[in-house]
Chain A
Amino acid sequence: MPLKKLSPSNTSSVEAVKGTEAVEAVVASDKKANDGLQAKINGLPLDDIPQDFYIHPEALNVVLDSFEGPMDLLLYLVRRDNMDVMQLNLQRLTEQYLQYIELMESLQIEVAGQYMVMAATLAEYKSRRLLPQIMTEEDEEDPTEELTRKLKEYEKIKQIATELDGMPREEREFFVATASLPTLPAREVPPSENKILLFKMAKRVLVKIDKLTQYHTKGELLPLNECISNIMSRLEVSQKNFVLFEDICDPRYGRHGVVMTVLALLDLLHKDVIELVQTALYGAIRIRHNQNIKPL
């Protein structure tokens, strides 16, 4: 479940006691030590989270954004305090991060495992700085630098992702123009050479697969897209410019895998991306890029 983000608080007193404002009061009291501001409810100072305090997790969904992960949270903390990413105060950042995690837990919001991993990592960074500098064999990066580098990298990715989201795209800024074809008279088309070869290959492999599957396990289902992807990448990586059906068929998926591979090959044949070649009678059938189309 994504971690919830609290809206930045700049209030020092809270009048109404509604779920979200009460939470703001808690955050304000968070900063009490730093700002000298005191949170108040109905005129009385608020120091601790009330014992019977409960916000249904769903209620927070409406008001709050959610973080993508611990990196996102860290970035938020850095920005909230106007810390310069280049001049991180690891100590302060770690404290705030841990406080935040504690806050989430006290509000009974489940914190996903990766946030704990980050908390542990930050604690480890802190400890590294406390220990005397031991010359290790590996060149260990300074923790602050390492964190800064990671944060900068993540920040950049987030920025570009947002830019990408803003770019014109299909089904939003533009639509693809299509026109339907008139109904054409049905033509008897004999199966192409390619398809005949394909079914010959499939038959051979089906027989072999049955022999290989000695034990009955519940096979995983192989999605068509993945199958097509696999075939194309095998072709690209292959040094001989062709692959054999036996190479691309994974016995793990058994008969289902063979069927999916046949479907994938049919799809690629249909798009004229590949062709099948058999050089000798009863010889191996090779799958290769369609030679008729000039690769672009």
Chain B
Amino acid sequence: MNIKELVNILEAALLSAGRPLHVSEMYKLFEEDEKPEVGAIEKALKTLEDNCTDRAMELNQVASGYRLQVRPLLASRVMRLKNRRTRSISAAVLETITLIAYRQPITRADIEAVRGVPVSHYTMEVLQDKNWVRVVGHKEVAGRPALYGTTDNFLDYFSLKGLEDLPQ
């Protein structure tokens, strides 16, 4: 298989996956006898990235893997086609996810202690629907409250590779 074919296959996979792909997952695109050698996929990804320089999309690496995205410069134009304005995230949800992201693992009670208000059921529902939080364990105190942490999905949404890329 030549490099051009490899690049095409990867591009096809990234476009149709519907989610970011890890390099290890990309190996699954190939049968045993045609598996690319070590480093070949990474090289092909670099080629794909270079190929996209003049195009509307770019290759980006986020927490869950690689993903093709529309370039930010064009986003505002594309927005015109979108019927509804993307609803902004409420302050309550933002503050809650910020607390979880920076202090994870953290219980609901701890979140309430900082914000001074109870964590509303609606806020948690929004965060779970977006798949931004997950239960990472339980605190060994009376009641065994759930400990919350953020998901890779959360980082993907903000185009971040890891928690260390969050603002200080």
Binding site for B on A (CB under 8 A): 68-72, 114, 118, 150, 153-154, 157-158, 160-165, 167-181, 223, 225-226, 229-230, 232-233, 236-237, 272, 293-294, 296
Contact = CB atoms under 8 A, between A and B. Distances in A.
B139 interface: no
A175 B70 contact: yes
A176 B79 CA distance: 13
A68 B24 CA distance: 44
B115 A71 contact: yes
Given A160-B98, A172-B75, A179-B16, A165 B89 contact: yes
Contacts of B89: 165
B159 A168 contact: yes
A161 B91 contact: yes
Q: Which size class do B's interface residues fall under?
A: 35 or more
B114 A114 contact: no
B117 A225 contact: no
Nearest to B99: A157
A293 B24 CA distance: 7
Contact of B115 (A69, A163, A170, A177): A69
A157 B95 contact: yes
A69 B118 CA distance: 9
A223 B128 contact: yes
Given A68-B117, A161-B91, A170-B157, 8 more contacts: A68-B115, A71-B117, A157-B95, A169-B159, A175-B78, A176-B67, A177-B57, A178-B18
A175 B95 contact: no
Contacts of B94: 161-162, 164-165
Contacts of B12: 179
B18 A114 contact: no
A151 to B, nearest CB: 10
B137 A237 contact: yes
Contacts of A70: 116-117
B3 interface: no
A177 B159 contact: no
A163 B160 CA distance: 14
A169 B15 CA distance: 19
Which of B25, B114, B117 has the most C-beta atoms of chain A within 10 angstroms of its own C-beta?
B117
A150 B110 CA distance: 12
Nearest to A174: B69
A233 B134 contact: yes
Contacts, number: 124
Scoring A157, A163, A230 by chain B CB atoms within 10 A of each residue's CB, the highest score goes to A157
A111 B159 CA distance: 39
A165 B98 CA distance: 10
A174 B16 contact: no
B59 to A, nearest CB: 10
A165 B157 CA distance: 12
30 contacts: A68-B115, A68-B117, A69-B115, A69-B116, A70-B116, A71-B115, A153-B114, A157-B98, A157-B115, A161-B95, A161-B97, A164-B94, A165-B88, A165-B89, A165-B94, A167-B158, A170-B158, A172-B86, A173-B72, A174-B72, A174-B159, A176-B67, A176-B68, A177-B68, A223-B128, A225-B131, A232-B134, A233-B137, A272-B25, A296-B24
B29 interface: no
Contacts of B97: 161, 164
B53 to A, nearest CB: 15
Contact of A174 (B75, B92, B131): B75
A164 B68 contact: no
Contacts of B16: 178-181
Nearest to A294: B24
Interface string B63-95: 000011111100100110000001011011011
A171 B159 CA distance: 11
Interface string B4-32: 00000000101110100010110010000
B135 interface: yes
